[in-house]
Structure 1
Amino acid sequence: MKEDFLHYLWKFKKFDTLNLKTSNEEEIIIVNVGEYLELAGPDFFNAKITIDDQMWAGNVEIHLKSSDWYVHHHERDVAYENVILHVVWEHDTEIYRKNNTEIPVLELRKYVDKDTVANYQSLMSPKAWIFCEKQLAYISPFVLKNWQERLFFERLERKSTAIYELLEQTDNDWEAVLFCLLAKNFGLNTNGEIFLKIASSIPFSIIRKESFEVENMESLLLGGAGLLDDEKEDNYFKDLKFRYYYLLHKYQIEKGNCNPVQFFKHRPDNFPTIRLSQLANLYHHNQNLFSQISEITSLETIYALFQVSASTYWLDHYQFDKQSPKKKKMLSKSFIDLIVINTLIPIQFAYAKSRGIERAEDFIQLLNEVAPEKNAIIDKFGSFGVKSLNAFESQAMLQLKNEYCAKSKCLDCAIGMELMKCH
């Protein structure tokens, strides 16, 4: 048994509250269980409890055993001086404040229904992948859908943190933030952080000026990635290298120093040369991209906006000095879907929130039209009977796995709560 089970019992009063008594046989009436903040200090703040007709207002601390009070050295911490009730599963010793007054103890196991304990033990039985994998398919669709909506917006809130940090770094320039986020997205998992560092190192005022010449854009991005450092016979390489060092001198930019970009294990269409050229062309064709996407609700409009390809040179190249069969390197529909999921919706969400505008239904509707991601987590949930039919659902399930299942926060999860109900 874990303390989070006791937190759940106390928070939702999942025990007999009518005949409560302290370990010293004093009558307890819970007026307010307090606020569960999950911060340092006592577990529940500002509770109101009557003990033998005396009303107390203060904090409640919860442990598996009373003696855990001393194990955790709460007797030395002034933050625990205002504890009015010590809620435990097993009472094994008396607890005293610094002034030697005894803290009342409620031994919870005397008041909890056996079915509640059995449901908890069933839910938290040894897991192969997640605790509830055998019961997941039987959860009410109503419960699951509502929980997915909450999970989806939790995920957007988490993604917004990085967006607001970038806003501070760019003096609240939404166009600059979008450029950085798109760069990270174009780099995928392997090169994403490197692409982000490259984009962040170039003042966006320079991107605005130089995007009218796509070769200048390419030189800034490929040069920043260290892809113009060598000596090659290729004329296009020589031209970009000349432009790159000219622009460094023109704008007094220091040459970037980032980790080498990765080609290994990538399909050629995902090579950093191709992705950076596509990003350069995207901004060459769209000088004010954020103003165009900030309120777009049509998926078809987004697809049209991102119909860009790498530059002409890359028609028959994936790397400098290595010719390949001709192929137009367009952004694929599946790649644009990833941009919608990981960049456009998060930045639209953060922008709407910053302006106090409610657009929740827009985001849900848009991602209902986008295909779900394909990865091991989504596939695994599908094998347990919960298939993601669109990106809204797959994003929710990723949030569920990463923030709840992986952290064993079953009693903070709507699915876990549903399974805890006595049947």
Structure 2
Amino acid sequence: MLFTEDFLHYVWKFRLFDKTNLKTVEGETIEIYSAGMQNTDAGPDFHNARIKIGDTMWAGNVEVHVPSSDWYKHNHTNDGSYNNVILHVVYRDDEPVILPNGRRLPTLELQNRISPDLYNRFHSLVYSNQTFIPCEASIGTVDEFTMRSWFTRILIERLEKRSTAVITALNLNRGDWEETFYQFLAANFGFKTNALPFELLAKSLPQNVLAKHKNNPMQIEALLFGQAGFLEGELTDEYPLTLQKEYNFLRKKYNLNPVENHLWKFLRMRPQNFPTIRLAQFAALVVKSNHLFSKILDIKDVKALRELFIDIPVNPYWEDHYRFDAPSKPMAKNIGQSSVDVLLLNTLVLFLFSYGKHLQLQYYIDRSLKLLENLPKEENNIIADFNVVGVKIKTAFESQALLELRNNYCNFKKCLQCSIGNKILAHSKSMY
């Protein structure tokens, strides 16, 4: 059998072993009142266990190893954090552990106490040759309550990890939420392909500069297209020439340095997603909405949030252009609802959560989760594959949780740390 410490952690945590007539390897009786809380950081594997050994009730830590000799291999003898270990739980006792005071560490051997059925289920789950996720043959049978509870937990994990970038940027911006939101919103207007140049653009052109020209759309457009590097060189049409003239003046006034134009990507993109069109849409949003983050904090309704982005009129020039000086077939260039929903998901949800977390305001955390519940699921290959194995979802709340599940649990075969994996193994628990 290929035992791992993770498996033994799981067995000990849920007491999935034969508990009849428990004794240490030296023959002292064992009664387990609490297995302890699993520790995922450095130090003993379980904290604050309560175990009666012989006639003595002990409170302390439990260390788990496959062979007992791993105690020495891992150099626990010289680590003071292991001085409070009260029980050594091992699969095989191959060497006694002697503590610095000369006493033998009480040891529980599980070699003949673990059900082969439980191990076989574990091995089949974690080491199967599945093409998508380890439990793809079973996940569709897991009950809705387990799935929902686990989705909520790992979704919070996902948002907490992503919020660290927000708080880092907030500190760099000296606590200015509006400026930080503006920078992240700009990056998300790039929709992955052009996220980096959009982010660099926003950082090179502070929001307070744009605010000084909020009543002049042409100057807003000149600043954005100019800082993006699209107003360099020879231009022909009246509109870009006007922008170029405005930008040359404003560039000197504010001592601006544009982003390198080669960073923008057009190749293999639909024309509606060209960075020039996204810049035109972003300029229209800046003109329409001042102090956008403050508005978002006040608006609760998803429909009202969408209206902040939908039907924003871009400059008429872009109705029949995708690039400067290159006429095209007339087509509306407003932001579509699917693009708006991506912006709500990647920017608004994240900032509501980060704001609530940073200021310890549960109201905004709850609002971020509620917003996810009211946004449609994402459409991508991972979500499609989950659908194939029986996980049917409708909302972004669920799709975001599935992305976290696949990327940070399934890909690393962390089935024993996953409530879904535990549920699939659950009916083996009744054996003991």
TM-score by length of 1: 0.90
| 1:304 aligned residue | 307
Q: Relative to structure 1, is the Cα distance of residues 71 and 191 closer, same or farther in structure 2, using a 3 angstrom cutoff? A: farther
Q: Shift of residue 372 of structure 1?
A: 1.3
| 1:133 aligned residue | 136
Say yes or no: does 1:398 pair with 2:400. no
Q: Show the 5 A alignment for 1:99-118.
A: 99-118=101-120
Paired amino acid for 1:418: K
| 1:227 aligned residue | 230
Q: Relative to structure 1, is the Cα distance of residues 241 and 26 closer, same or farther in structure 2, using a 3 angstrom cutoff? A: farther
Q: Show the 5 A alignment for 1:15-414.
A: 15-17=17-19, 19-126=21-128, 127-256=130-259, 260-307=263-310, 308-353=312-357, 354=359, 356-358=361-363, 362-414=367-419
Paired amino acid for 2:109: E
| 1:421 aligned residue | 426
CA-based RMSD: 2.5
Does the Cα contact within 8 Å between 1:309 and 1:328 map onto a contact in 2? no
Matches of 2:59 and 2:253 in 1, distance apart? 67
The secondary structure found in structure 2 opposite 1:189 is coil
Does the Cα contact within 8 Å between 1:17 and 1:30 map onto a contact in 2? no
TM-score by length of 2: 0.89
Matches of 2:245 and 2:111 in 1, distance apart? 76
Matches of 1:401 and 1:4 in 2, distance apart? 19
Q: Shift of residue 64 of structure 1?
A: 1.9
Q: Shift of residue 367 of structure 1?
A: 3.3
Aligned length: 423
Matches of 2:39 and 2:271 in 1, distance apart? 49
Percent identity between matched residues is 40
Does the Cα contact within 8 Å between 1:310 and 1:328 map onto a contact in 2? no
The secondary structure found in structure 1 opposite 2:111 is helix
Does the Cα contact within 8 Å between 2:227 and 2:256 map onto a contact in 1? no
Matches of 2:161 and 2:396 in 1, distance apart? 17
Does the Cα contact within 8 Å between 1:8 and 1:411 map onto a contact in 2? yes
Paired amino acid for 1:119: R
Q: Shift of residue 256 of structure 1?
A: 4.4
Q: Relative to structure 1, is the Cα distance of residues 164 and 26 closer, same or farther in structure 2, using a 3 angstrom cutoff? A: same
The secondary structure found in structure 1 opposite 2:166 is helix
Does the Cα contact within 8 Å between 2:228 and 2:258 map onto a contact in 1? no
Q: Shift of residue 191 of structure 1?
A: 1.6
Q: Relative to structure 1, is the Cα distance of residues 111 and 371 closer, same or farther in structure 2, using a 3 angstrom cutoff? A: same
1:215-267 CA deviation, whole Å, 9 max, x = no partner? 33333333333333444445444443443443343234454469712111211
Does the Cα contact within 8 Å between 2:230 and 2:261 map onto a contact in 1? no
**More displaced, 173-182 or 101-110?**
101-110
Does the Cα contact within 8 Å between 1:295 and 1:348 map onto a contact in 2? no
Q: Shift of residue 331 of structure 1?
A: 0.3
Does the Cα contact within 8 Å between 2:22 and 2:30 map onto a contact in 1? yes
Matches of 2:95 and 2:197 in 1, distance apart? 56
Q: Relative to structure 1, is the Cα distance of residues 106 and 247 closer, same or farther in structure 2, using a 3 angstrom cutoff? A: farther
1:381-405 CA deviation, whole Å, 9 max, x = no partner? 0001112222222122112112221
The secondary structure found in structure 1 opposite 2:293 is helix
Q: Relative to structure 1, is the Cα distance of residues 177 and 12 closer, same or farther in structure 2, using a 3 angstrom cutoff? A: same
Matches of 1:210 and 1:125 in 2, distance apart? 61
Matches of 2:21 and 2:233 in 1, distance apart? 80
Matches of 2:80 and 2:203 in 1, distance apart? 45
